[in-house]
Structure 1
Amino acid sequence: MTQTAPPASDDVVPGAEIYTPEFRADPYPVYARLRAERPVVKVRTPRFDSFLVTRYEDARQALSDARLSKDLYRAGDTYLAVFGEKARQINTNMLNSDPPEHSRLRRLVTQAFTPRRIEAMRPRVEEIVEGLLDRMAPTGRCEFVDEFALRLPLAVIGDLLGIPESDHEEILAGTQVIRTVGTGGRSPQEDRAAIGQAQERLHAYFTGLVAAKRARPGEDLVSALITARDGDGRLSEAELVSTCFLLLFAGYQTTSDFLGNAIVALLTHPEEMAELLADLDRVPDAVEELLRFDGSVPVSSFRFATEDLQIGGVTVPAGSIVTIVLSSANHDPALVDDPDALDLSRGDTPHMAFGHGVHYCLGTALARLEATTALRRILVRLPDLQLDVPVEDLQWLPAASAFRGLLELPLRYTPTP
């Protein structure tokens, strides 16, 4: 693809030109045009402007640039305009901090989020997967998002955090209000109010959970986080509650959406699906290509420029919000040949589905464990798997959502005992 010179920093694109109904279903042609014509461009939406970074090398550099801060409290009025004051209580965590504070928080969380702890969860993940498929397999039809994709990671992260199973529906209700914002026919003001209420309920829930675990510790991650130390320091109460909120979304919503995306990708590429069915040992490699091809986190969380800087030859003024488009970087020809093709035989590629730099996702091992276990068993337990609606009728999350995923995924297959 021929790449043109970067645009001037005062080049502004209305968000309506990018976030169209067509973009919602398939954003990759838009990303290709941006990489070719406007690889770093300011996009204007009703609430704020943001510089989109769409090329792979620019994205890698931006994700490692200390001048792009994740501590949005430092952004002052910019932060408040985007998120509102009430969001502060759920954002006091490592995702929204810079070194050295980020380093302290990540060390404390890493102590409790060890590979050994994750590997020890393998039998439980397998048990949850089989239990869900036991209910689905005899019916011959399912709505995959509700019956499997949401349920597996919620059960896994619930076990990890020590959330009682009886509370799962309460957690599900709150998270889905946030995830599906923009789909209920509400006004933007009503959407913001609904999100605020859901965040407050979840914050109250995790405040109570931390208090309960402090009074009666268990073998769960929250109890481990309460006792984790870094020298003489521990996580504060606000940091504990906010970290629980972060781990819930990072360990649940992203995996849920990815599972649906992966199933659609396989069903719309039958030759690749057939080759995978013939050799299920390839599932781990297939997961990596599926993450690159259509991951569930299309963009990084917001950063803001602490000083004037250049990205891809474009001047980004101090105070600007910057969004790195991970999905676009993963489809850059600079990363792989024929990037818009699903090729499960590519082998390992340095995709950005889990980010890059100091904020690289801490839960990659858990996400891979869940995805590989789920896909391997789905392919075995649900034979002759097919979409139960035309692919063009699938309903995706709103174009400007923080997640890339489906509202529903109707499937059919040959019933089995």
Structure 2
Amino acid sequence: MAHDSTTPLPQPFGSDFQTDPYSVFAQLREKGSAHRIALPDGSPVWLVTHECDVRRGLADPRFSVDKQRSGSGFKGFSLPPALDANLLNMDADDHLRLRRLVAQGFTPRHVDGMRSHIQRAVDTFLHQLLKRMDTDGQADLVAEFAKPLPLKVIGDLFVVPAEEQGQFSEWISGMLAPTSRQDLIQTIGSIHRYLVDLLARRRANPGDDILSGLIAARDETDQLTEDELVSLTFLILGAASENVQHQISNAMVTLLDHPDQLSELRGKPELLPAAIEELLRYAHPNLSAIRRFPTEPVDIGGVHIPAGDTVLFSLASAHRDPARYPQPDRFDMHRADKGHLALGHGLHYCLGAALARTQLTLALDALLRLLPGMRLASAPEDVRWTTTFRFRAPRELTVVLDPGSPTATP
């Protein structure tokens, strides 16, 4: 079944979506798997909602991430070439070529060697959170803990000066949720100029770090272009910090909203790995995977999708699909089916999956173990969210400690 091009495309990302995107996805799933819709900027896309089709599509080589394959007027971010030549726009050989250059720094073995460094960062920002609570009686868990933690971890891995990490984080946040098109253009320009300057400084003073290794791969062995070097740096610094920040925030909202399971988890910390996998399914911030473009006509759920059209595989819809998960809208850390798509599937499986899981594990362990009296300052339904078709995360997360509750020094 093909879409009638004369019919106005529905735009599902309105006020109902802002309030509860999962209900909107549920309504779409009931009507079928593939839906021709319009993004907020008017771009036409196909949104795929059934878990089986999302899982198959993410691993199907006929779906390219290369924007040169787009034939449907895809807009996306107005990125300069030096920020666009990254893994999210590359297929097969080029993707694997760049991935191999940085993969060694993100293997489970290498990440395990970073645990003590990550733990020190967790302790630093937990102390900062406690200090703010002691001073003000409450604190924003996002600003004091969830946001600075992953930025410091990845920033230190790339040896980004500590005093520059905060500004870079603000630029990334502004790019993902811009207030206007002009602000978006200015923010992207600032990011580009900063990365060019950072690379110039590291070229002048190389060290034993991932970024210096990438520069050497560019300058000494010509394994990547200058644009690829800048873009790869942009992708890793931005994605690695922003995604973990949002996952920590979403996880804490979920746990604090489920006191029975939270209490059990505090009493049985050995359940934390299982809880994290369920949190990645239930509360993953990325609502959709990176857009893709079929290299040939494909059929999904009885719907014909032409080559070159933009396709969004909805992770959030897949993770709440009752055909895969019994009672999918229920958070259940004892859920038998631990499979999810939060960290990708197929060629584009998340390069930093081990690093993300380690940060999430150490962060949640510290928050739950050392702050047993922490709770939301207001009702969960009063939490203010940033919700776009791409992601959903709290803008802030004000928490307090119950009077007289014990705390431990990190």
Give the TM-score of the pair, scaled to structure 1.
0.90
Q: Which residue, 51, 68, 82 being the options, matches 2:76? A: 82
- Give the deviation of 1:354 after TM superposition: 0.7
Asked whether the equivalents of residues 292 and 311 of structure 2 are also in contact (C-alpha less than 8 Å), the reply is yes
TM alignment of 1:4-153, pairs within 5 A: 8-10=2-4, 14-16=9-11, 18-45=12-39, 46-75=41-70, 78-79=73-74, 81-84=75-78, 86-138=79-131, 139=133, 140-153=137-150
Q: Deviations over 1:359-399 (max 9, x none)?
A: 01010000000000000100122222211122222111133
**Does the aligned pair in 2 maintain the 1:94–1:102 contact within 8 Å?**
yes
Cα distance, 1:334 vs. partner? 2.9
Separation of aligned partners in 1, 2:385 and 2:363: 21
Q: Is the 8 A contact 1:254 1:403 kept in 2?
A: no
CA distance in structure 2 between the aligned counterparts of 1:161 and 1:56, rounded to whole angstroms: 36
Structure 2 stretches lacking a partner, 5+ long? none
Q: C-alpha displacement at 1:270, in angstroms?
A: 1.3
Q: From the superposition, tell whether residues 307 and 176 of structure 1 become closer, same or farther in structure 2 (CA, over 3 Å).
A: same
Structure 1 residue 167 displacement after superposition: 0.6
In structure 2, how many angstroms separate the alpha carbons of the residues matched to 1:347 and 1:161?
A: 38
Q: 1:338 is matched with which residue?
A: 327
Provide the rounded CA distance (Å) in 2 between the counterparts of 1:324 and 1:58.
8
CA gap of 1:311–1:346, structure 2 versus 1, over 3 A, is: same
Select 1:376's aligned residue among 365, 383, 399. 365
The farther-off stretch of 54-63 and 203-212 is 203-212
Residue 165 (1) aligns with residue 162 (2): yes
Cα separation, 2, equivalents of 1:367 and 1:110? 14
* CA pair 206-348 structure 1, distance change in 2 beyond 3 A: farther
SS at match of 1:42: strand
**Change beyond 3 A, Cα 1:13–1:130:** farther
Q: What's the offset of the Cα at 1:104?
A: 1.3
- Give the percent of matched residue pairs that are identical in Structure 1 and Structure 2: 38
Residue-by-residue CA offset, 1:329-381 (whole Å, 9 max, x unaligned):
11112322111111111256220001111001010000000000000100122
CA RMSD in angstroms, aligned pairs only = 2.1
Q: After superposing the two structures, state which structure 1 stretch, 133-142 or 29-38, moved more.
A: 133-142
Partner residue of 2:392?
404
1:90 aligned partner, one-letter code: L
- For the Cα contact (< 8 Å) 1:144–1:410, is it kept in 2? yes
Distance in 2 separating the partners of 1:26 and 1:55: 18
Describe the SS at the equivalent of 1:397: strand
SS of equivalent to 1:47: coil
Cα pair 2:71 2:308 within 8 Å, conserved: no
Distance 2:21 2:229 in 1: 36
Q: How does 1:216-235 map to 2 (within 5 A)?
A: 216-228=205-217, 233-235=222-224
- Contact residue 72 and residue 310 of structure 2 kept, 8 A: no
Q: Does the CA-based 8 Å contact 2:83-2:231 persist in structure 1?
A: yes
Contact 1:112 1:228 in 2 (8 A): no
String of CA shifts for 1:70-129, please: whole Å, max 9, x gaps.
1103326724x3333x44331101111111211211122213433333222111111111
Given that 1:133 and 1:381 are in contact with CA atoms closer than 8 Å, whether structure 2 keeps it comes out as no
Q: What residue in structure 2 maps to residue 318 of structure 1?
A: 307
Structure 2: distance between partners of 1:352 and 1:163: 30
Is the partner of 1:83 in helix, strand or coil?
Answer: coil
SS at match of 2:45: strand
Give the letter for the 2:23 counterpart. Answer: P
Per the TM alignment, residue 264 of structure 1 is displaced from its structure 2 partner at its CA by 0.8
Cα distance in 1 for partners of 2:251, 2:384 equals 15
**Match of residue 377 from structure 2:** 388
* Aligned equivalents of 1:37, 1:257: Cα separation in 2: 30
User: Using the alignment, how far apart are the partners of 1:202 and 1:119 within structure 2?
Assistant: 30
CA distance in 1, matches of 2:394, 2:293: 29
For 2:98, give the aligned amino acid: L
Summarize deviations over 1:177-223 as a string: whole Å, max 9, x none: 11332xx4xxxxxx122112111111111112222222222222211
8 A contact 2:383–2:394 mirrored in 1? yes
Change (3 A) 1:101 1:176: same
